[in-house]
Chain A
Amino acid sequence: MSDEDSGASAAESASDLASSAGDRPGSFAFFSLIGDRFNAPGMPADTAKEVGFFREAILSVARQLWLDANLGRSRVPAGFAEAFDLRLTNVLRGSAEPQLLLNRTQRVSDEDWDEWVRFYEAARDSIAMGVPTVAVAPLDRDRTDLTEEARAARVLRNPAVVASLRKIGSTLEQAETVVLGSPLRAGPRVKLDHDMRLLLNPRLSDLGVTQSEQVSIEGVIVEYDGKTRSFRLEMLNGSATCSLTKDEARLSIQARDYLALDGFTAPDVVIIGETNNSVAKNIHIFSVHSIDIVRSVAEKMLIQQLQRIVELEDNWLGSGSEKPPEEIVERVRELVPALAALDIQISVVPSADGSVVLEARRGLVELSVAVEPNGEMFMCSDNVDTNELDEAQVDFDGSRLERFLRTGAIS
């Protein structure tokens, strides 16, 4: 049987089984083990781990899908893995068909949960759609005219995903089959029988050994080695050792220019390069071909000051003092790029009445704007030489605030 024949056969067989098995309302995924061993009630205890392999594979793919959808992020959000709480609640008679429910944890917000479930479901479907494609043809990573199945297959080339996919079906005997995928009859499902596994495993081996992937990660450059043309990027959760593309003097200059000798005072950058393992805590990125600033030092300083305000609690300055409400902090945060571009030193401080106060100095004039919880802002200019004062109490207006700090003009 040719590769293509086998792939078509697997897809058809899965389709046949999807039709006969019908919908599984309330289930997160369809999962069925077929073979003599599975005809008795329940399922053999030593094959229960196949469910665990399936869960692990879905989570690996979901991670990759989330990172692909959030360029510049190197880690999925905290709790993303823990929230994927797949429960085996029952085993239907006939073939061993464990019912898999996704348990909602109360520790995740509605917004996060809704977003994450979409990635978990997309990952489940990507496995069902992508595995047959991986099995029958090598992946051409440069192609852009990809079918839905080929796009799904491309996600599966991540080494961590490959490692988890290889485990599925590994405990089964030659005559045994696992079918997995969507709980809906019309959704994608894949049948992993012995022939399919024979085709798939060498492909996965190739992917695991030779394929790298392009990654885009954000951080600050904290070390640079001119001899090896490499640098270390400190990220929010971990670090990356990065090697520059050869013969790109521009990149060496950028890496040096953006170097933070103290680990902070340098712009945040996004770099693009290749890696063989994007999920490691300390990853190696080679062929770095792009280094771009995403956040200037001035922006980082303002954000840091805002963060200190966010961390305040009520009564922070004595009994009755209020921390500025979140929406007031957010109003100022939205202005950070514009304020950073003013090229003047701005201090962002809290007031005991819950305002966020921006202070700057232009020559002999001290400028301040209190962004108040009542939706207004108070602007004040104070000449430290003549004590001349000007002031205005107006509705909050970000453009006017920015103009005031830029020009010193109240009106």
Chain B
Amino acid sequence: MTASAPQDSILDTPSELLLRQVHPTHFTNGVVSSEAFKPSARDRDMLSTLRGHVGPDEAYRRWTEEKGFKSVGTYGVTVGEVVNENLKAVDDAAEVNEPDHVSIDFSQILSKARKKQAGRILRDAAKARGCLHAPK
């Protein structure tokens, strides 16, 4: 997905939840790192999430069981919180060939510090919402 996404693929329902998995190394001292909500250049500045209707449990299952990655749990941010940081939530499920996939596009932010800050603000919002699903 790129910054030139078609307008109709950009999510615009502020209350819609986007589900993000947090890797165990991004959860230290009981704190979720802002790194968990900041994409790298290798991700082409796109942060992977799944649409809220998938559900936190199923999102966790897909990430850990289907894809074989690690996670301490599912966290969530809303499209409104994404837009507030001048970021876009882009439905790119077809492009990445993954059902319900949404990328949060950081590519319009050029400053590394500002990207880090946007990740921190999304992390704060997700943290305030609490962990939506954690393995038992």
Binding site for B on A (CB under 8 A): 301, 305, 308-309, 312, 316-318, 320-322, 345, 347-353, 357, 359, 366, 368, 378, 380, 382, 384, 387, 389-391, 393
Contact = CB atoms under 8 A, between A and B. Distances in A.
Contact of A389 (B26, B41, B43, B117): B117
Contacts of A384: 120, 124
A363 B100 CA distance: 39
A318 B48 contact: yes
Contacts of A318: 43, 48, 69
Interface stretch (B8-16, B54-62, B106-114, B128-136): B106-114
Given A318-B48, A357-B35, A349 B28 contact: yes
A366 B70 CA distance: 26
Interface string B18-44: 000001111011010111000111110
Given A382-B113, A387-B117, A347 B29 contact: yes
A320 B42 contact: yes
Given A320-B43, A347-B33, A312 B113 contact: no
Nearest to A315: B69
Given A301-B29, A312-B25, A349-B25, A393 B112 contact: yes
30 contacts: A308-B24, A308-B25, A309-B25, A316-B69, A317-B69, A318-B69, A320-B42, A320-B43, A321-B40, A322-B42, A347-B29, A347-B33, A349-B33, A349-B35, A350-B25, A351-B40, A352-B40, A352-B42, A357-B35, A359-B35, A366-B34, A366-B120, A378-B112, A380-B112, A380-B113, A380-B116, A380-B117, A384-B124, A389-B113, A390-B113
Interface string B92-118: 000000000000000000011110110
B84 to A, nearest CB: 12
* A-side interface mostly: strand
Contacts of B39: 352
Nearest to A321: B42
Contacts of B29: 301, 345, 347
B17 to A, nearest CB: 21
Contacts of B41: 353
Contacts, number: 74
A317 B35 CA distance: 11
Interface residues of B, number: 26
A382 B120 contact: yes
Nearest to B68: A315
Nearest to A390: B113
Sort A-B residue pairs by CB-CB distance and give the 8 closest, nearest first: A391-B113, A353-B40, A352-B40, A347-B28, A349-B33, A389-B113, A380-B113, A320-B42
A387 B118 CA distance: 10
A120 B3 CA distance: 64
A321 B40 CA distance: 9
A317 B117 contact: no
A353 B112 CA distance: 13
B124 to A, nearest CB: 7
A312 B103 CA distance: 24
Contacts of B35: 349-351, 357, 359
Given A359-B34, A380-B112, 17 more contacts: A308-B24, A312-B25, A316-B23, A322-B42, A347-B28, A347-B31, A350-B35, A352-B39, A353-B41, A368-B34, A378-B112, A380-B116, A380-B117, A382-B117, A384-B120, A389-B113, A391-B112
A353 to B, nearest CB: 4
B42 A391 contact: no
Question: Among the interface residues A309, A350, A359, which one has the most CB atoms of the partner chain B within 10 A?
Answer: A359
A357 B124 CA distance: 18
Nearest to A353: B40
Nearest to A308: B25
A366 B121 CA distance: 11
